[in-house]
Structure 1
Amino acid sequence: MSIDRRQFIGRSVALAATALPSLAPSLLTSQVHAGEDRLIIDTHTEVWTLDPKFPFNHPEAGAKLKVDVAAPIENLVGQMHDFGIRYAVLINPRYFGWDNSYIAHSLSLYPDLFVAHGLLQPEDPKIADKLRYWITERGFQGMRFSPIYHPKSTWLNSRDHDELWRTAEKLGAVFNYYIAPHQMPMLEEMAGRFPGVKIVVDHAGKPDLNAKDCWPEFRKMFRLKKFPQVWISNSEPYEMSELKKYPYEDTLPFYKAIYEEFGGQQLIWGTGYPRPRWELPMDQELEFVDKFCDFYTAADRELMLGKNALRIWKFAKS
């Protein structure tokens, strides 16, 4: 049985979750908005609870997945307060499988701070109906798909998914993809056929730095730049780095190449984690963009850290 890196961390890291005081959403919202120097939107945050009301049912590990540390919505709200992050996008971390109830619960608690993406079983024959339910009944704005876990599958551009994409166009849904470089042509096909669906590519397209020469495969993503409805998440360097040490200098040529190809208008930023944070604390997440990615212009950095997200999602008070 294989589980992804987040599941491994969740199982093996012995940390006590940091408990934060319970604060009213209205108070937190006012504090987040107070005294900010710039707009910061975290476009990829994951939360989970160990409350049995929201049982785990991981797509690969099932209900037997062992996670010792909770990362509840309250922790994320506290982090946003501490660092002046105005809005964030909630994404189901796969712990709950195709049940997005905890993400919906979190959204209902803090609707002024978040928008939500869930997960759908990609080969469910009723996938379009499930998309419609989560968006129209539960207030979600999109879904995340992870074809990287299905490296030989062709469901991404299957004709069976046409109804899903047509429904997404009608609903104004956003799709974000955790995808391997060799799968980019399939996404390129769907972006061309369904231009009304906004698309986010996670983890900078996940170049394989273990490969002898990963650039030919990695450059397949660059063909997506012709689509104005596509954005690349130029963030989370620890996801691709082989150095495993901040500031992950081996990732910088890839972020620079993406920037040179797509420009500031098609980049966004996201961290991937709430509290507890295991790999990169928030101050270093921001420092990485501000200091080490010195090839960004100041104006493009502002687009990437917040303003572009306003073109993708509808936040409550934006």
Structure 2
Amino acid sequence: MRIDAHQHFWNFDPVRDSWIDDSMKVIQRDFSPEDLLPELRSKRIDGCIAVQADQSPQETQYLLGLSHQHPYIKKVVGWVDLSAPDIESQLERYQAEKNLAGFRKILQALPPSAMEEEAFLQGISLLSKYHFTYDILIFPKHLPAALEFVKKFPNQAFIIDHLAKPAIKSGEFEHWSKGIKELSEIPNLYCKVSGMVTEADWKKWKKEDFIPYLDHITDCFGTERLVYGSDWPVCLVAASYAQVFDLAWEYFQPFSEDEKAAIFGDNACEFYGINA
């Protein structure tokens, strides 16, 4: 089964979605499952994982509702206030929702010290009990803190979104590569091959720009812990759906059929609990 393990849906709200500024006008509109389906079909992708873009319980319910209406939305990565005093009772209730794979917090907007807050750590400590995954959305400056964070939870299924957003446009590599290497030594941590084009020069990127970063994550994580995702529709500020898919697909062409099947579907199914 081929899976796009990272994409979003939203009904655009200029206040709520203020992060979509005028430099991103192309995505200042609604994006629905009907918009995505032709893109999936064009690349023979069987299903996708809808990831939260707004930090609210309403967003989680919205995505879950879509997943019930559209069977190709295989799982949802939602949002919950992991620091809430009643977090365990919330997780217990959410456990009944079979399409909910796990959660994400927009850590990239916070200082690295946010990963040290006691209430947040308490919430993370409960996720594995209820079989929920956790997506880590950070920038390279967060990598040292992220390493200490994931070390605390050896039984938690973690995945790094968007390669931890390396500064591809400027070509910065050393700091990011060191941090990623250290993180990759944590066996319960996966990495998404996603979000690259938006970290490159939106207008002038070329596929060679991404090769050092792809080489490094492949060396670090191996093909058994890499997961492909498009980051649609955010990717549209820099590339079409097809261009994003083709960047990854062409890079991994020399790999074996089993390795490609792992990166483009099997690993996502294993990590997020997707049944064929």
1:201: how far off?
0.5
Report the counterpart of residue 14 of structure 1 in structure 2. Answer: none
Q: Aligned pair in 2 of structure 1 residues 111, 164: CA closer, same or farther (>3 Å)?
A: farther
Q: Aligned pair in 2 of structure 1 residues 245, 210: CA closer, same or farther (>3 Å)?
A: closer
Q: Aligned pair in 2 of structure 1 residues 268, 276: CA closer, same or farther (>3 Å)?
A: closer
Aligned counterparts of 1:167 and 1:76: Cα–Cα separation in 2? 33
Report the counterpart of residue 145 of structure 1 in structure 2. Answer: 105
Aligned counterparts of 2:154 and 2:212: Cα–Cα separation in 1? 30
Contact 1:172 1:196 in 2 (8 A): no
Report the counterpart of residue 76 of structure 2 in structure 1. Answer: 116
Deviations 1:106-131 (A, max 9, x none): 11212454200112346544445444
Report the counterpart of residue 41 of structure 2 in structure 1. Answer: 81
Contact 1:57 1:97 in 2 (8 A): no
Aligned counterparts of 1:72 and 1:115: Cα–Cα separation in 2? 16
Report the counterpart of residue 4 of structure 2 in structure 1. Answer: 42
1:71 aligns with 2:51: no
Q: Aligned pair in 2 of structure 1 residues 262, 147: CA closer, same or farther (>3 Å)?
A: same
Identity of aligned residues (%): 17
Report the counterpart of residue 231 of structure 1 in structure 2. Answer: 190
Report the counterpart of residue 261 of structure 2 in structure 1. Answer: 302
1:196 aligns with 2:158: no
* Aligned residue pair count: 270
Deviations 1:160-216 (A, max 9, x none): 223212220101111111111222232222322212211110111211246684412
Aligned counterparts of 1:258 and 1:126: Cα–Cα separation in 2? 37
Q: Which has the higher helix share?
A: 2
1:93: how far off?
1.8
Aligned counterparts of 1:58 and 1:276: Cα–Cα separation in 2? 20
| Aligned AA (2:260) | R
1:58 aligns with 2:20: no
Q: Secondary structure at the match of 2:125?
A: helix
Equivalent residue in structure 2 for 1:181, among 126, 140, 143 = 140
Aligned counterparts of 1:157 and 1:276: Cα–Cα separation in 2? 31
**What does 1:24-35 align with in structure 2 at a 5 Å threshold?**
none
What RMSD over aligned residues (CA atoms) do the two structures have, in Å? Answer: 3.1
Contact 1:58 1:97 in 2 (8 A): no
Deviations 1:122-173 (A, max 9, x none): 65444454444444357411011221111x2522232222321222010111
| Aligned AA (1:158) | E
Aligned counterparts of 2:233 and 2:165: Cα–Cα separation in 1? 21
| Aligned AA (1:281) | S
| Aligned AA (1:284) | Q
Contact 1:79 1:275 in 2 (8 A): no
Contact 2:108 2:137 in 1 (8 A): yes
Aligned counterparts of 2:234 and 2:204: Cα–Cα separation in 1? 20
227-236 or 129-138, which deviates more: 129-138
List structure 1 runs of 4+ shifted beyond 6 angstroms.
none
Aligned counterparts of 2:253 and 2:165: Cα–Cα separation in 1? 21
Contact 2:78 2:104 in 1 (8 A): yes
Deviations 1:230-256 (A, max 9, x none): 111123321221364354422210111
TM-score by length of 2: 0.83
TM-score by length of 1: 0.73
Aligned counterparts of 1:246 and 1:295: Cα–Cα separation in 2? 23
